[in-house]
Structure 1
Amino acid sequence: MTASVRWGILGTGRIARDFANALKDVPDAVLAGVGSRSLDSARSFTDEFGGAAYGSYEALVAAGDIDLVYVGTPHPAHAGNVRLALEAGKGVLCEKPFTLNRREAEPLVALARDKKLFLMEAMWTRFMPALAEVRRIVASGEIGAVSQLSADFGFTSDAGPEHRLFDPALGGGALLDIGIYPLSIAAALLGPVESVLAQAAIGPTGVDEQTTFLLRHRGGGLSTCACSLRARTPGELTLSGALGHVRMNGMFHRARNVTVTTAAGARTVETPYLGNGYVHEVIEAQRCWREGLVESPGMPHDETLALMGVMDAIRRQVGVQYAADAADAVA
């Protein structure tokens, strides 16, 4: 095993660039290669960030000096790209949403397990110290038995209908792009989702431009979640119990502190936040890969599949469908 973990990045868009910047902040991470459908695009990327340039995804995953592959391509490409990397024997960290639906996700998990290769959904909030602190506070009993959570994530976009955010052919819509954040953290704190009720505002291209959903969790807890491409929301998360509540301050996916409020008063706890956020998932993926794990205990396969199923249910309720949802779609 090498001292450093050698990463390959599949894709050269904004998210891939953010991930490459994060690798700079992880001392034992190395960007070994970047794959694009265009060699010129890959070379432009590596001129800035380093690593070898590959003019195809196939060439990247076949490279012998790459340990883990980060999939940062558009949503509809995730399933095929993850399969490509796994079949080449590479561990994979796949950007959220993991796939377009649960049916696409299931065979990927099965393949990773069969080949004993690491596979994880790239959800950095699961590994933030702020979330760990919230869990510690809950476990201490300070806010009593928790039963309710609220979380939102929204920004305004003036992009045209051809942009990936609004194009159904590219898996557009608020839910898959940013709704997964409040959904995932709600499940992390209140447990598995047993039922969901959703409402959405559907835009002219047929995707959800804002969605709200109410979740009932195993054990009876309730959470209200919202996502929007029309409104700049606070992006906060509050978890409430019988004795008080704890809030992840600022935008919860970038929280640098949490505030606990009870009858005795309020106190704020500072929590580290590394780099641009992606650093947290990089550290976890490397830890798991080095230990020979197939999945992360913080973002296990079964939970990724369950949350994909919840988003499938939400989209059915609000009337958003993608080509991959067709009965004859191939996973």
Structure 2
Amino acid sequence: MDELATLRALQSVKEHGTVTAAAAVLRLSPSAVSQQLKRLEKATGRSLLTPTGRRVALTPEAHALLDEAGPVLSRLEAILGVSSGRESQVVGHVRVAAFTTAIRHGALTAIAEVQDQHPQLTCSLAEMDPGEAYRALSAGMVDIAVTHHWQGQQAPVYPAITVSPLADNTADNTADDLVDDVADVICHRDHSLPESPGLEDLATYSWVSTGAGTICHSWLIHMFALHGHRPRITAEISDFALHVPFVAAGLGLALVPRLGRPELPGEVRVLELEDPPARKIGIALRTHQVNDNAISVVGAALRSRLRD
């Protein structure tokens, strides 16, 4: 079915970023894929691709076409038993977005390992706050997003995105069953705060936070607002590992998730809140790509490393 082949070619270019990579996955020549795309453009009367440096990007018309045809394409492939060429090999380019702590804690190692194990697979990595990562994933700008939201905070809901926990591969669109990353207060060792303070004990001190507009900055403000207070944020630093030197210098307090906590110097101590907050961490994919071979391999590697 020629129409099916042309749609599969467009879908593959979307997933892998270049005609050459798409051709390798589909086991066709680049010229054959280009011809299929030209036929699809002629049949639909839409301009489908636009060059972006050495890669190509789908036009809004192409994204709209795949949004309409994607579910039908997947169903037809299942009914007809059509192979996408991805089952027996791991080939292509996978774009990953992850928040700062996840990059430092395991994403870099996971990507290095998976590229070493699969020479025909390449990955790119972008640092993004979860909100930005969800938007990029929804828009087709990345293929995998390592995300988090704070327990008690509403997680973003995108109908075309599936979020799965680090613990296993069970899909959970509500993200209520994701891995917990508990956060503790870090203070200077000479600070007079009790070992298990309440928020009322912390309201008058200076704080370091991630940047305004980030999910963790919003959570810090929200956490205090629930008790009628507003934190006095005197520094904004994106990496939690750099919050510790701020505290060690005696400049204030920090709320640091354990995943993002480096080895602590002797100048600081850890205070566990009476009701410690926690982040829920998971892997987000576009739903129609959950069975893509390359994306599944990279997602599994990220899941494994981030659990360590």
Same fold at TM > 0.5: no
* Larger CA Rg, structure 1 vs 2: 2
Question: TM-score by structure 2 length?
Answer: 0.30
